[in-house]
Amino acid sequence: MTSSRISPWLAPLARLVTQDLALPLWFRAITVEGIERVPRRGPVLLAPTHRARWDGLLLPYAAGRRATGRDCRFMVTVDEMEGLQGWFLRRLGCFPVNQLRPSLGSLRHAVELLEAGEQLVVFPEGRIRRHGDEPILLQPGLARIAALASCRGRTVDVVPVGIAYDRPWPRPCDRAAVCFGEPMRIEAGGREAADAFTLQLTLALQQQERRAEVRLRPVHGPAPLLPREAGEQSP
């Protein structure tokens, strides 16, 4: 049976070590934009691009308890849940999924967390994509989870998140950027609806990742133009 919980003593310690020590010591600047778009209540699925192992620390920094008043619950690969690391991750609200053969238990636990109004993080690419010029290819699992929760009466806000770094393998004193897009929803069930939603999410992730990359570019002269988000009005 798949389960996870957040330790009341380990979680604050982890925030201290990662957000007050590890991240400030490694990165000279972390830019977070659009955090006001992340709902503070109700089930939320954060769908970030996956650019480095640092992503797992940046998301709680940008959208965790200090930023939104909510914890980030992570769905991670089974390999990451082994040994001592797995012991810690499970007590920080993470739970495993076999990407090749996802079990009903993993999917059920993800839906249960959303039904409880939690904030769940799922990397829809399923792997690290180091270079931004590589195409974003999403697995169908995230849309399936959102659709299952919707079928059980809980409409889920899916928030696309773009992440970027100065280099594919971030080095000390590099910079990082995290950009949150407008929440998306999948209302209908079925494969066609899931496929359409996955395509929409892919486009949204491309947009947010580009925004994050632009934030890391040196500015000489006028600021570069960014694509307008859905719903934004022309000046």
Q: How far apart are CA 107 and CA 125, in angstroms?
A: 16
pLDDT of residue 219: 58
pLDDT beneath 70, residues of the chain: 1, 188, 219-235
pLDDT of residue 225: 54
pLDDT of residue 75: 96
pLDDT of residue 50: 97
CA-based R_g, the chain, Å: 17
pLDDT of residue 151: 87
- Is this model's pTM higher than 0.75 or not? yes
pLDDT of residue 101: 76
Task: Give all domains of the chain, ordered by start, each with its CATH number.
Answer: 10-215 (3.40.1130.10)
* Per-residue pLDDT tens over the stretch 173-192: 999 999 999 999 997 677 88
